[in-house]
Chains A and B, each alone.
Chain A
Amino acid sequence: MALTREQMAQRVARELEDGFYVNLGIGIPTLVANYVPDGIDVMLQSENGLLGMGRFPTEEEVDADMINAGKQTVTARPGAAIFSSAESFAMIRGGHVDLTVLGAFEVDQEGNIASWMVPGKLIKGMGGAMDLVAGAENIICTMTHASKHGESKLLEKCTLPLTGAGCINRVLTDLAYLEIKDGAFILKERAPGVSVEEIVEKTSGRLIVPDHVPEMTFEAE
């Protein structure tokens, strides 16, 4: 079975380490905040200028001056800091954020990522994604392995305009967890019940399959 969005978030959350400063993109990455393992403290960075994003507010706590990068009303946790956009991107470009998790349309075997524009369709803009992928050393891309029509999104070479070149080293799809190294995807784990053959079939970039590919496990919720 392909992973649900919640399971994808759960799997990414296992990569969090105690003391990490983390930027979570919109969509599945946002859900990662719900699965921070017990005993681990992470500080969430929101690129509009908030380090230490807290929970969504109660009706009484809603404040128009307190939003996240997705423009949702949020709160600041104890120990949070608020600053300007220039300061925010100084910490991003300067490599001070320990982990960035973001979505993508395509990723290729050279670590290129395309996530901001589909020519001919509407262009909404890249927001902070280009700065995030250029600044972080540790990036996890979350995406579905293939399109609804079964076309692979893990490619030899991205077809869409790039967000960043050679910057992605880990990908979590609904079928597999992979690393990107030396011009190839390396299959590290597979979703429960998903065969190596299915992953091979749905990966059009160069794929290295080790002898043993463990299956992910999830506790029943």
Chain B
Amino acid sequence: MAGFDKRVASYEEAMEGIESGMTVIAGGFGLCGIPENLIAEIKRRAVTDLTVVSNNCGVDGFGLGVLLEDRQIRKILASYVGENAMFEQQMLNDEIEVVLTPQGTLAEKMRAGGAGIPAFYTATGYGTPIGEGKEVREFNGRHYILEEAITGDFAIVKGWKADRYGNVMYRHTAQNFNPMAATAGKITVVEVEEIVEPGELEPSQIHTPGIYVDRIIQGSFEKRIEKRTVRS
């Protein structure tokens, strides 16, 4: 890898260094904008005891759901874990630890983690089970709870276009958690639909600047739709 060229030649190389017990932060909302090939590579490597941070856990047989098949996930932080029968079963059997986290708090935990902010106060969850055991402070007559930032050993991200320096753009609502995830990994791996030459992306349109990105790979994507809804 020379200079700022972040490209890697294979998915094997893209996930080099991932080990059992590591924390992986994943972008995506439902099945939209998920790094599906990087997830497949984690499955192929058969690493276990992973802590996964992601808004959802995929569905049976797709997305992060495939990592449940061989019990590779020990703990997950997510805001919503419906739509997945295998997940429910492992949760009921205590085979997986689930830390349900409000969606905005989850996004901010990633953002703060990547931005060097160790913790932040939010009103979200005050007075609910989410706030139990957390530090409370009052600002201007309102109560807030202290939530801690998250960083990962790896961040896995799905982009639309990137240049080889690792500048990334996302497409439509496939953006979601990806920009925050990209900032919060010790090693951030981004898979995209197209890698272009530096200079082809308009600098002011870049969502994730290359400084956050360690590895870039171009892949092909199934992009499964969870709830196809059309108007008649």
The residue that A125 contacts in the complex, of B79, B111, B176, B207, with Cβ under 8 A, is B79
Q: Given that A62-B225, A65-B173, A84-B177 are known contacts, is A123 also in contact with B100, CB under 8 Å in the complex?
A: yes
Task: Check B178–A84 contact: CB distance below 8 A.
Answer: yes
Task: Check A84–B78 contact: CB distance below 8 A.
Answer: no
Chain B residues with Cβ below 8 Å from A127 are 79-80, 102-103
Contact count band on A:
35 or more
- Interface residues in B137-165 by Cβ distance below 8 A to A read 160
Chain A residues with Cβ below 8 Å from B68 are none
Task: Check B79–A86 contact: CB distance below 8 A.
Answer: no
Contact count band on B:
35 or more
Task: Check A47–B103 contact: CB distance below 8 A.
Answer: yes
Interface stretch (choices B1-9, B29-37, B196-204): B29-37
Q: Which residues of B contact A (CB under 8 A)?
A: 29-33, 55, 78-82, 88, 91, 98, 100, 102-108, 110-111, 122-130, 160, 171-180, 207, 223-231
A to B CB contacts below 8 Å, 17 in the list: A46-B173, A47-B104, A50-B173, A55-B231, A56-B230, A63-B172, A67-B30, A68-B173, A71-B226, A84-B175, A84-B207, A124-B81, A125-B78, A131-B102, A131-B103, A134-B122, A164-B128
Chain A residues with Cβ below 8 Å from B82 are 122, 124-125
Q: Given that A128-B103, A131-B102 are known contacts, is A62 also in contact with B230, CB under 8 Å in the complex?
A: yes
Q: Given that A64-B32, A131-B102 are known contacts, is A49 also in contact with B124, CB under 8 Å in the complex?
A: no
Chain B residues with Cβ below 8 Å from A84 are 107, 175-180, 207
| Chain A contact residues, majority secondary structure | loop
Q: Which residues of A contact B (CB under 8 A)?
A: 46-50, 55-59, 62-74, 76, 82-86, 88-89, 92-93, 112, 117, 122-131, 134-135, 161-166
